[in-house]
C-alpha cells in the first residue's frame, strides 16, 4: 500500500518548484536531494516578498512590527519543529557556520583540559570545527571509527572511547554519504554515563528532511540544520543551543540580551521561509492524524515521509514492476547494504563496468540527476576505508515517486548490461 495516495502525491508535488523539470536542462528526475532538496513554492514567494521590504526591525511602524512578528513566529515554529521548549533557536550563515559557532562556544567555555570526541562518520563541517577548536584549546581530538559494513556508528563503539574527560562531543545524525542514520539519543546517553557535563553538538543537516527531530528527548546541547536541505532556500543555517550552552561566554554585541546568538541585523525572510517549511509539515501531517496539535502533525508527517522513503528505497534495491532492482543487477554494489533499515533517503553505489563520473553522466543523459562522490575531503572518510575512489549517490525525498524510481532503474539496467 502506498503511503501517499495518488491524489495526495499530486498535491505534494504541486507544492514544490521544479519538481520534474530543471529550469536549465529540461525534464529530469531529481535524485540529488542530499545536495539540496527541492524548494517549496511558498518559500520562493516568501523570499521574494521579504527581499523587497526596505524597513528594519525595532522601529515604531507597521512594517517593522511585521518583520519582528515574522521573526518571533519563525522562532516559535523552529521550536515546534525541533521539539525544543527550552534553549535558544537562531539563524546563522549556513549549517557549517552554525556548527562552527556551537563547537567554538562549547570548546572555549568547557572546563579546561580533557578531550574532544567525534567519529569518522562525520561530515567535514563538524570535524573541521572540532579539529580547529581542539587545537586552539590544546585538547586531543579523538575519532570513534564508524562501521564500514553498516555505514553508521553506534553507542557501543562510542563507549569504548568514553572517559570522564570528554569535554565536547559531536554526533552526525545521518551520513550524507552512506545515508545511514545514527541513534543520537543512545550515543548522547552513553557519553553522559561517563561525562555528564560534556557539551554535545549534533549535525542534523542530512537528517532533517527525512524524519523526526526531538531535541527534548536527545539530551544534547546543540543542533544544526541547513534549510535548503529541508525544502527552504540557500543563504542561512538554523541552530539550536541548550540553556547551559547559551549561558557560556559567546561572541555578542555589547548590551544585547545574554540569550542572543544572532549577530547583527537579522534576515526576517529566513525566519519566514522556515515558517513555510514548518507549515508544510503541519499540512502534510494533517493527512495522517486527526489531531490539530502542530507538533503531533509534524510527527505524523515525519512518519509518513519515512514510510514513503522506505518504500522508494526498497523499490530501488529490489525492483518495481518487471524491472530488476540494484541488488539484483550484476556489478552493482550498494554501500552499507541493500536492506539497511536505518537508511534515510540515500543509496550510494558503484558499478564495476563504469566509472562513477561516467555513470552520473549516463544517468543524466537518461533524464535522472544524481551525483558522484569522490575520495576527497568530503567523502574520503567513507570511501577510502572501503577501498573506493568514488561512488554514485542517488538521493531521494518524499515527493519522489515509484515511476521516477522505474526511470532510474531502466537506465541502471541498461548501464549494467542487463537491458
DSSP code for 342: T
- At its nearest, how many Å lie between ligand PLP and the CB of residue 300? 25
Cβ-based nearer residue to ligand PLP, 50 or 378: 378
As given in the structure block, the three cell numbers for residue 293 are: 496539535
Cβ(174)–Cβ(208) below 8 Å: no
Cβ-based nearer residue to ligand PLP, 181 or 413: 181
- At its nearest, how many Å lie between ligand PLP and the CB of residue 204? 8
346 lies in the site for ligand PLP, by CB under 6 A: no
**Any bridge partners for residue 16, and if so which?**
40
- At its nearest, how many Å lie between ligand PLP and the CB of residue 125? 4
Specify burial of residue 310 (Cβ count, 10 A radius: 0-12, 13-18, 19+): middle
Task: Answer left, alpha or beta for residue 96, where phi above 0 means left and psi between -120 and 50 means alpha.
Answer: alpha
d(CA 43, CA 49): 10
Q: Site map for ligand PLP, 210-249, x if CB under 6 A? A: ----------------x-----------------------
Whole-angstrom Cα Rg for the chain: 22
Pick the binder of ligand PLP from 9, 71, 89, 125 (CB under 6 A): 125
d(CA 179, CA 393): 9
Cβ-based nearer residue to ligand PLP, 128 or 410: 128
Cβ-based nearer residue to ligand PLP, 203 or 309: 203
Cβ-based nearer residue to ligand PLP, 205 or 329: 205
- At its nearest, how many Å lie between ligand PLP and the CB of residue 9? 26
DSSP per-residue letters across 195-209: -TT-EEEEE-TTTTT
Cβ-based nearer residue to ligand PLP, 203 or 299: 203
Cβ-based nearer residue to ligand PLP, 226 or 350: 226
- At its nearest, how many Å lie between ligand PLP and the CB of residue 81? 17
As given in the structure block, the three cell numbers for residue 50 are: 521579504
Closest of 158, 192, 172, 161 to residue 127, by C-alpha: 172
DSSP code for 320: B
Count of residues that interact with ligand PLP, criterion CB under 6 A: 11
Q: Site map for ligand PLP, 193-212, x if CB under 6 A? A: ----------x-xx------
Cβ-based nearer residue to ligand PLP, 127 or 324: 127
DSSP code for 354: B
- At its nearest, how many Å lie between ligand PLP and the CB of residue 233? 11
DSSP H or E run through 308: helix 294-318
- At its nearest, how many Å lie between ligand PLP and the CB of residue 159? 23
Pick the binder of ligand PLP from 101, 104, 123, 250 (CB under 6 A): 123
Q: Which residues have a Cβ under 8 Å from the Cβ of 394 and sit 6 or more positions away?
A: 31, 316, 346, 347, 348, 349, 370, 408
As given in the structure block, the three cell numbers for residue 296 are: 503531533
Cβ-based nearer residue to ligand PLP, 88 or 381: 381
Cβ-based nearer residue to ligand PLP, 46 or 206: 206
- Residues 291-310, interacting with ligand PLP (CB under 6 A): none
d(CA 401, CA 368): 13
Pick the binder of ligand PLP from 67, 172, 198, 332 (CB under 6 A): 172
Q: Site map for ligand PLP, 130-159, x if CB under 6 A? A: ------------------------------
Q: Site map for ligand PLP, 56-95, x if CB under 6 A? A: --------------------------------------xx
d(CA 279, CA 344): 22
- At its nearest, how many Å lie between ligand PLP and the CB of residue 93? 8
Closest of 126, 223, 108, 125 to residue 117, by C-alpha: 126
- At its nearest, how many Å lie between ligand PLP and the CB of residue 98? 8
| Helix ranges restricted to H, 208-267 | 215-218, 243-246
d(CA 91, CA 74): 10
Closest of 126, 342, 296 to residue 223, by C-alpha: 126
d(CA 190, CA 153): 13
- Residues 19-38, interacting with ligand PLP (CB under 6 A): none
Cβ-based nearer residue to ligand PLP, 101 or 297: 101
In the complex, the residues that contact ligand PLP under the rule CB under 6 A are 94-96, 123, 125, 172, 176, 203, 205-206, 226
Amino acid at each position: 500500500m502506498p503511503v501517499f495516495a495518488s491524489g495526495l502525491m499530486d498535491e505534494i508535488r504541486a507544492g514544490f518548484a521544479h519538481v520534474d523539470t530543471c529550469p536549465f536542462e529540461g525534464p529530469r528526475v531529481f535524485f540529488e536531494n542530499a545536495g539540496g532538496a527541492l524548494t517549496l513554492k511558498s518559500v520562493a514567494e516568501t523570499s521574494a516578498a521579504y527581499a523587497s521590504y526596505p524597513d528594519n526591525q525595532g522601529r515604531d511602524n507597521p512594517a517593522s512590527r511585521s518583520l519582528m512578528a515574522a521573526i518571533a513566529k519563525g522562532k516559535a515554529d523552529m521550536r515546534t519543529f525541533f521539539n525544543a521548549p527550552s534553549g535558544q533557536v537562531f539563524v546563522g550563515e549556513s549549517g557549517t557556520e552554525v556548527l562552527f559557532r556551537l563547537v567554538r562556544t562549547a570548546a572555549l567555555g568547557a572546563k579546561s583540559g580533557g578531550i574532544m570526541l567525534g567519529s569518522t562518520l562525520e561530515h567535514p563541517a563538524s570535524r573541521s570545527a572540532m579539529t580547529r577548536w581542539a587545537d586552539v584549546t590544546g585538547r586531543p581530538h579523538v575519532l570513534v571509527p564508524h562501521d564500514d559494513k553498516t555505514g553508521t556508528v553506534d553507542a557501543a563503539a562510542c563507549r569504548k572511547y568514553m572517559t570522564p574527560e570528554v569535554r565536547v562531543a559531536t554526533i552526525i545524525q545521518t551520513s550524507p554519504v552512506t545515508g545511514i542514520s545514527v541513534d543520537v539519543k543512545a550515543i548522547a546517553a552513553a557519553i553522559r554515563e561517563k561525562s555528564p557535563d560534556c557539551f554535545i553538538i549534533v549535525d542534523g543537516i542530512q537528517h532533517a528532511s527525512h524524519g523526526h527531530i526531538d531535541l527534548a528527548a536527545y539530551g544534547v546541547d546543540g543542533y544544526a540544520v541547513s534549510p535548503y536541505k529541508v525544502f527552504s532556500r540557500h543563504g542561512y543555517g538554523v541552530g539550536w543551543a541548550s540553556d547551559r550552552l547559551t549561558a557560556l561566554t559567546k561572541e555578542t554585541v555589547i548590551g544585547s540580551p545574554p540569550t542572543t546568538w544572532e549577530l547583527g541585523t537579522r534576515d526576517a525572510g529566513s525566519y519566514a521561509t522556515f515558517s513555510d517549511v514548518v507549515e508544510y509539515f503541519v499540512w502534510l501531517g494533517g493527512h495522517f492524524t486527526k489531531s490539530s496539535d502542530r507538533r503531533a502533525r509534524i510527527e505524523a508527517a515525519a512518519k509518513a515521509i519515512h514510510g514513503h522513503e522506505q518504500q522508494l528505497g526498497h523499490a530501488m534495491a529490489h525492483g518495481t514492476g518487471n524491472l530488476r532492482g540494484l541488488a539484483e543487477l550484476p556489478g552493482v554494489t550498494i554501500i552499507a547494504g541493500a536492506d539497511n533499515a536505518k537508511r534515510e533517503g540515500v543509496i550510494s553505489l558503484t558499478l564495476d563496468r563504469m566509472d562513477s563520473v561516467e555513470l552520473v553522466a549516463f544517468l543524466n543523459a537518461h533524464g535522472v540527476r544524481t551525483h558522484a562522490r569522490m575520495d576527497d575531503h568530503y567523502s574520503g572518510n567513507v570511501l577510502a576505508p572501503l577501498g573506493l575512489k568514488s561512488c554514485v549517490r542517488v538521493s531521494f525525498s518524499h515527493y519522489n515517486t515509484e515511476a521516477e524510481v522505474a526511470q532510474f532503474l531502466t537506465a541502471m539496467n541498461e548501464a549494467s548490461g542487463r537491458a
